Structure 1
Amino acid sequence: MALLQISEPGESPAPHQRKLAVGIDLGTTNSLVAAVRSSVAEVLPDAQGHALLPSAVRYFPGGKVTTGREPLAQQAEDPHNTVVSVKRFMGRSLEEAQATRAPYEFVDAPGMVRIRTVQGDLSPVEVSAQILAVLRQRAEDVLGDELVGAVITVPAYFDDAQRQATRDAARLAGLNVLRLLNEPTAAAIAYGLDNAAEGVYAVYDLGGGTFDISILRLTQGVFEVISTGGDTALGGDDFDVLIADHAVAKLGLGELSPAERRGLLMAARAARETLSVADVTSLKLTLSGGRGAELTFTRDEFELLAQPLIERTLDTARRALRDAALKPADVRGVVMVGGATRMPVVRAAVAKV
């Protein structure tokens, strides 16, 4: 992530004043906050030393809210009140949210969908604000002072409504947004492409809930974005749904309760991550009444299931190249960004384009 020191005209800080700004990656699966310290960009850890904050929020009766690892681990216990992957619903309508098949009770509302919880019907903006507030507090604790603002990354293909929703979430969290920075551009800088040989580069960004492709031209250390494409409803979560549906069909499970469905999706994600480094894994499920179920699942089976989703990303990448009047051979290199690109089948497919 590129972290910039920004001052409004006429408001340059005096040498003795501390003006603290941070960079925030508000991710579908995990989020983090970073700052420049002694001229080096550094991810700021929490009190336990963890750099990543799982993008999970749980709401309790009486107003209590927890964020991060605890609600992520306990999501199957209280699926209706534990929200994960909320970034997928930013700026979305009821129909768009329901199409994700996420195990929530969605409520129609002006502007964007809401999620029904024990603390009322909450917008994705309000849930995202909880995550941002934790990151803001972490940064202020580590840096020892209040923040003047933050640069927040967003998918390049976020529309105006989704970008405004991100700004609104930051405002609710007490953050002044200095800039929204497109994730592929931030990734290109973070990976040092600005120091690479001149030419055309692609940033293929497949995260937990969104896919972005950006075609960049590097000339004399300066990036020009010449084409972008993406799908704000395609990411690692969708691969998990494929695995979950496969398990339901293979095991003949029928209709699952919300808690069972959430537990199955957790097992599916674990299986997907395991198959990035192993050829076979086992999905172990806990069903109602103490019943259990287990399914052996191979990398070959997963890669067959995953092909249609991967092809969707490649179709988008090809369109971005056509929009830039380029061919795959014109691309000097590809930066693979996002947790879902750890899947070997994704890397192999991109290499063949």
Structure 2
Amino acid sequence: MALLQIAEPGQSPQPHQRRLAVGIDLGTTNSLVAALRSGVTAPLADADGEVILPSAVRYRVDHVEVGRAAKGAAADDPLNTILSVKRLMGRGVGDVKQLGGQLPYRFSEGQSQMPFIETVQGAKSPVEVSAEILRALRERAEAVLGGELVGAVITVPAYFDEAQRQATKDAARLANLNVLRLLNEPTAAAVAYGLDREAEGVVAIYDLGGGTFDISILRLTKGVFEVLATGGDTALGGDDFDHAIAGWILAQAGASEDLDPGAQREVLKLACEAKEQLSDAESVEVRYAGWQGVLTRATFNELIDPMIALSLRSCRRALRDSSVELEDVHAVVMVGGST
């Protein structure tokens, strides 16, 4: 007589073999966590059914908010609400000063010239802020999967240097996450798009996200990716588009660019909304401080043209480093919200 062992879908019939691991996309603007369940990789939703977690952290006197609630408070509580912290990972005080007026925070210098953000809960490093995002994703995964995680694979920009990669690992450690591997985002995108099952050849991955840009030249041979060259800019992305539009709005409205943190967040929010609408529309109406005007897609393209030129310069450099001619690239995969 045959013996059958029955288990719930997605679970191992032998509990001691049920080791839970996840993949985490720790993004500048948004983050998410996914797992392999019943042989299918799927993102894990929170209690409200939302998959995307805005990469926003708000420090309150007695607790911390992460995600949509934090993002919604950015204009009302700009000094304690941290957005786009990924752009600060592994950077020194000098790097932060170069970003200048783009950041509505009060900074202090910690050990090893690490920048700290002054909040109502005290000084917080970018590593600590990122840890709050990772902790929220870990707690979501453990609630959905019904067990403790043994580890996570976390994606990072291919152009992240060693300090930025170590900062990501440190954030995971603070969030009680064991890092199984840091996976370069372009490689993750190639696998997600099934390129490992495609014909052999050279592929370019153009990845322009909220705060970082990567270009990777990959050669596919018998299902194996060989990274020929990488390039990019860890301070180039959709955030810069928002600042360009915000500057245009202030100039058109005849308003001062010397804004307090709350007003700065308000105009950046307006700029981001206009940018997103231009994905589908040729023009969008903009109202700010009594001024009303129209931002066209053509004007938007003019505003961001210098930034796109920077990305293309990185592409040409990566092609040169890979010793690959442009005509030898048989496919270009464009990923990231800003593409």
Indicate the TM-score class for this superposition, using the shorter chain for normalisation: over 0.9
Consecutive unaligned residues in structure 1, runs of 5 or more: 1-12, 286-290, 342-353
1:280 aligns to what? Answer: 283
How many equivalent residue pairs?
323
Deviates more, 1:111-120 or 1:215-224: 111-120
Map of 1:224 onto structure 2 = 226
1:114-142 deviation per Cα after TM superposition (whole angstroms, max 9, x unaligned): 11111111100000000000000000000
Match of 1:163 among 159, 162, 165: 165
Matched, 1:181 2:179: no
Amino acid at match of 1:37: R
CA offsets, 1:54-106, max 9 Å, x none?
A: 00011112x31111011112210000000010000001112212322221122
1:194 to 177, 196, 205: 196
Of residues 303, 306, 312 in structure 2, which corresponds to 1:305? Answer: 303
- TM (norm. structure 2) is 0.93
Per-residue CA deviation, residues 211-254 of structure 1 (Å, 9 max, x unaligned), is 00000000111110010001001010001110111111111111
Q: Give 3-state SS (helix, strand or coil) of 2:207's partner.
A: strand
Distance (Å, rounded) in 1 between the aligned partners of 2:185 and 2:92: 23
Q: Give 1:106's aligned residue.
A: 107
- What is the aligned partner in structure 2 of residue 72 from structure 1? 71
- What are the ranges of 5 or more consecutive residues in structure 2 without an aligned counterpart? 1-11
The Cα shift of 1:158 comes to: 0.5
Aligned partners of 1:19 and 1:292: how far apart in 2? Answer: 58
Which consecutive aligned stretches of 4+ in structure 1 deviate over 6 angstroms post-superposition?
Answer: none
1:325-353 Cα deviation digits (max 9, x unpaired): 11211100011110000xxxxxxxxxxxx
Q: Following the alignment from structure 1 to structure 2, what is the Cα–Cα distance between the partners of residues 284 and 339?
A: 25
Letter in 2 for 1:50: E
- CA distance in 1 between counterparts of 2:65 and 2:283 reads 35
**Aligned equivalents of 1:240, 1:82: Cα separation in 2:** 18
SS at match of 1:323: helix
Q: Secondary structure at the match of 2:199?
A: coil
- Whichever residue aligns with residue 195 of structure 2, its letter is L
- Tell me, yes or no, if the aligned pair for 1:98 and 1:106 is still in contact at 8 Å: no
Once the 2 structures are TM-superposed, how far is the Cα of residue 293 of structure 1 from its aligned partner? 3.9
1:91 maps to 90
Query: Which secondary structure does the structure 2 equivalent of 1:77 belong to?
Result: coil
Q: 2:19 maps to what in 1?
A: 19
Q: Is the CA contact (8 Å cut-off) linking 1:57 and 1:65 kept in structure 2?
A: yes
Residues in 2 aligned to 1:284 and 1:92: alpha-carbon distance in whole angstroms: 36
Measured in 2, the distance between the counterparts of 1:110 and 1:329 equals 49
Alpha-carbon distance in structure 1 between the residues aligned to 2:33 and 2:25? 6
Q: CA deviation at 1:315?
A: 0.3
Match of 2:5 in 1: none
Indicate conservation of the 8 Å contact 1:22/1:150, yes or no: yes
Secondary structure class of the residue paired with 1:149: strand
What fraction of aligned residue pairs are identical, expressed as a percent? 60
Structure 2 counterpart of 1:330: 328
CA distance in 1, matches of 2:58, 2:291: 27
Q: Distance in 2 between matches of 1:184 and 1:39?
A: 23
Deviation at 1:294, TM superposition (A): 3.4
Q: What is the TM-score with the length of structure 1 in the denominator?
A: 0.89
Partners of 1:167 and 1:283 lie apart in 2 by 41
In structure 2, distance between residues paired with 1:223 and 1:27: 23
